[in-house]
Structure 1
């Protein structure tokens, strides 16, 4: 809600976002659903989350986080921002993370070695942080090496998909179980969306 660009939901005011959230999410909260906040596209440079949290009457239970960085230091920087600023929630969901550098309008994606290495390091970081309750790699348009299956065909795992699956399979936490189901769903969704020629 804090950014307008390709693939985004569009920038909106805090008031509009809060009103929309309250109108859509109250019934779910009242039914006992745990709510995850919207994630901020501007990552650690965000300025909208706290005003949003102050404005909504239906409070989320956990803070959603997007992390698109091209180094583990960058990942840690985003994570540290949310851990410090929203410590009272004691709950972060990394709803998307990937190797990507969007600085200054660039879309710099890593090579196979870089994307694989970052995925492995990020999983270790998230698994060792008690405030991170769940994490999911982004299987969207994050460059040639950023898909979990080659060209999103769902037939086999890519190098990144295999690396990510191995990293999360080595842990028995609830977080990694969420992530593993996400890999399986992404592969199944890719198979469903493939054309007959691709299948």
Structure 2
């Protein structure tokens, strides 16, 4: 009997350990979705501008989810946001990689003459009623609608040039600093405070709108083969509508953390991801779009991109990576792993201060957070391997890390530290 109990206990421990990483990852992705008391129809009217001729205004209704179908763990949206805006905060999963940390010196960042305010892209993404907030439960109906962006459609398959992004020039408008946001973040005061100092931002949709001179960087979150329900299908529908309208982005990345499970990641096999990459994303390369790789949940412990790369015919131009580490030494290891393994420059599409060893724990000490931000910004700016970087602005990273106050929409202490770190770059 005692032996049987010991064996049973060992089996349980194995299962618990196998799911430990996913549990840590799940805690990272708390959701913010606007939940309305009454189901209503929201109609957004905008002009679609076609190069060479003015198109008549079109009308499209946005979907508003019934409150009865909203997951119970959705939190309220920040009060400073538009009531029609769904927001979702995102952060990357932890790495369980353990290695000895080596000390490095970080040189002060020199001011760049290219720090002019970025110009917006020529072609922005087409608004779609199918677009939904990043990270909603795959078992629930689509979250409430968000404020649609204005859109324009190119008359030919030419990539926009306003962002300055090309295969030979990967930094938007010559300025690396950006922001990993969520749907509706462009409506906050914190975004307005950051806008003069950043060149790009993302909101985890394919059609992130340009705002206040800041370029929206699109992402195809997932595709067929992902079991993530409406998290995948609604974003895919938006992307397909963009392609049908010949709206060609300057840069498009995909997919979001296919190496981890739904609903916090896109959960795709390497074969499915490779097939969908060739079908959906690769054709953009011939039209001048810069292609960003799938971003990995497991940081430098990933084992997805190598078989994925072997299975595709069209390579990516820049490697999209996530950094969730407690100090600049570990952040540098993440960058160096991807550069050395895949031979590409990296776009740090998310970074946050996380004590990820021996267990996953977002940083809570403001002094540690401030030091981390100043050190990694200095490192990113000084590294020729890093073409762009942006901090995660998600719930699930504790109370101290988020850059935007969820109640007022204003900069937090962390947000202020980031703005001060990138001023004048």
TM-score bucket (shorter structure)? 0.7 to 0.9
Cα shift readout 1:64-122 (whole Å, capped 9, x = no counterpart): 110001122211111121122122x2x11001000113446533333211112111111
- Counterpart mapping for 1:60-79 below 5 A: 60-79=316-335
2:300–2:337 Cα contact (<8 Å) kept: yes
Which of 8, 11, 15 is equivalent to 2:271?
15
Counterpart of 1:194? none
**In the aligned structure 2, how far is the partner of 1:105 from the partner of 1:7?**
19
Is residue 108 from structure 1 mapped to residue 340 from structure 2 by the alignment?
A: no
Closer/same/farther in 2, CA of residues 64 and 160 from structure 1, 3 Å limit: same
Unaligned runs of at least 5 residues, structure 2: 1-257
Could you tell me how far 1:36 is from its partner in structure 2? 0.6
How many residue pairs get matched?
167
Closer/same/farther in 2, CA of residues 153 and 21 from structure 1, 3 Å limit: farther
**In the aligned structure 2, how far is the partner of 1:79 from the partner of 1:27?**
28
Counterpart of 1:175? none
Normalising to structure 2: TM-score of the pair?
A: 0.38
Is residue 27 from structure 1 mapped to residue 27 from structure 2 by the alignment?
A: no
Counterpart of 1:163? 417
**In the aligned structure 2, how far is the partner of 1:113 from the partner of 1:132?**
25
1:70–1:110 Cα contact (<8 Å) kept: no
Closer/same/farther in 2, CA of residues 78 and 96 from structure 1, 3 Å limit: same
**In the aligned structure 1, how far is the partner of 2:294 from the partner of 2:284?**
15
Counterpart of 2:389? 135
1:25–1:58 Cα contact (<8 Å) kept: no
**In the aligned structure 2, how far is the partner of 1:59 from the partner of 1:94?**
18
Higher helix residue share: 1
Cα shift readout 1:28-83 (whole Å, capped 9, x = no counterpart): 22211001101111111111112111211221100111000112221111112112
SS at structure 2 position matched to 1:38: coil
Cα shift readout 1:160-181 (whole Å, capped 9, x = no counterpart): 111111111231xxxxxxxxxx
Counterpart of 2:351? 97
**In the aligned structure 2, how far is the partner of 1:128 from the partner of 1:58?**
30
Counterpart of 2:30? none
Counterpart of 1:48? 304
Large movers: runs of 4+ above 6 Å: none
SS at structure 1 position matched to 2:314: coil
Who wins on radius of gyration, i.e. which is larger? 2
Is residue 3 from structure 1 mapped to residue 263 from structure 2 by the alignment?
A: no
**In the aligned structure 2, how far is the partner of 1:101 from the partner of 1:5?**
23
2:326–2:356 Cα contact (<8 Å) kept: no
**In the aligned structure 2, how far is the partner of 1:168 from the partner of 1:83?**
24
Could you tell me how far 1:148 is from its partner in structure 2? 1.1
